[in-house]
Amino acid sequence: MSDSYHILADYLNSMPNGFPRTDTGIELELLKKIFTPQDAELFCKLTLEKETVDQIATRTGLNKEYLSNHLESMWNRGLIECHTVGNIKTYNAVPWILGIYELQQKFIDQEFARLHAKYIKTVGPYFLTPKPQIMQVIPIEQHVQSHSSPMPYEQLSAIINNSRSFAVNECICKKQTALLNRGCNKPREVCLSISQLPNYFDNHPHAGRIITKEEALSILKMAEDAALVHMTANIQEGHYFICNCCGCCCVQLIAARFGMPQTVNAHYYAAINPELCTQCGTCETRCQIQAIQNTDGIRSIIQDKCIGCGLCVSTCPNNAISLIHKDKSQDTLPPKDQNDWYREKSKSRSTF
């Protein structure tokens, strides 16, 4: 196999999110599936910083026409990121997760699904253990008590109202499990892309279906009804997606379901009032991570496991469950923005 794939794997692993190497070399098979050797070489010349073709040409000495054509090709195939503001395009490298993997939504096939599932089964903890977490949970807002004074990054309404452009796509996690004949019956077109710039997703090759703000809110309500967990990037500002996740397809929720602690940043937890609870079991069926235990017919919440999504609260027929904000000693403040997250993650991985 070309040395360019080993170099690419090491470069991806040097990024804050990581791309752990394996004894089997399954990660190299994944890269070879979507990158040509030429793609791999050019990717390694990019950085996480957004740069124009002129800036990349000046820094690398590569021909501008070659760069313009090859970078655009790589962007169309979901190997890098491109940001267009007016007539100015910038390009940058992206991590495997969140990044290249999600950008393969249009292209994922059974072979890619099999390779990626095998890779994640081998190295999943290396993505999930170093803090800060990749994702944070956004609770169902109408069940957040007003006196808890939620921060804007904890409120769907604040994130949506701060956005000007909206699009929806199929969930790649659900698509992958379906390709492996392990799919669930949850709604799949539930991954929202959002931007503070107007018309940002016009002519965007990966955004999916462009929708209105009202349609975005409708999709979020549908996701709640289907018992999907709202999650977004674990940052305070600059959110660019809202995922709606299930415990059978989302790697982070699967890990939480099997007892891995703090796979996502959760600012709330649920509590059951035993005097109001009639033990109907609705909450138990709604919970995506099996955080509600049934001991001799009595339901209770495993607080160390609970991610405070609110799915159990929203359908309790007796209003016996409430969402409680963690106190400051237990709540983890997200990094300010994506760059701050990269800095904190890099520092954490260096000691992992």
Spatial contact of 163 and 143, defined as CB atoms under 8 Å apart = no
**CB neighbourhood size of 125 (10 A):** 13
Q: What is the pLDDT of residue 43?
A: 98
Mean of pLDDT over the chain:
94
Q: Tell me: the pLDDT tens digits for 107-140?
A: 999 999 999 999 999 998 888 888 999 999 999 9
Instruction: For the chain, count helices (H), then strands (E).
Output: 14, 12
Model confidence at 142, in pLDDT bands (50, 70, 90)?
Answer: confident
CA–CA dist 15, 20 (Å, integer):
10
What CA–CA distance (Å, rounded) separates 134 from 18?
Answer: 12
**What is the residue type of 316?**
C
The candidate with the shortest Cα–Cα distance to 104, out of 178, 177, 206, is 206
**Calpha distance 221→244 (Å, rounded):** 10
Is 269 in a helix, a strand, or coil? Answer: strand
The pLDDT value given to residue 37: 97
DSSP letter for each residue of 107-160: T--HHHHHHHHHHHHHHHHHHHSSSSPSEEE---GGGS-GGG---GGG-HHHHH
Q: What was the pLDDT predicted at 1? A: 55
Nearby residues of 331 by Cβ (< 8 Å), 6 or more positions away: 267, 325
114 token code pair: 């099999």
User: What is the band of 159 on the pLDDT scale with cuts at 50, 70, 90?
Assistant: very high
Domains contained in the chain, CATH given: 3-128 (1.10.10.10), 135-259 (no CATH)
pTM given for the model: 0.94
Calculate the CA 301 to chain-centre distance: 25
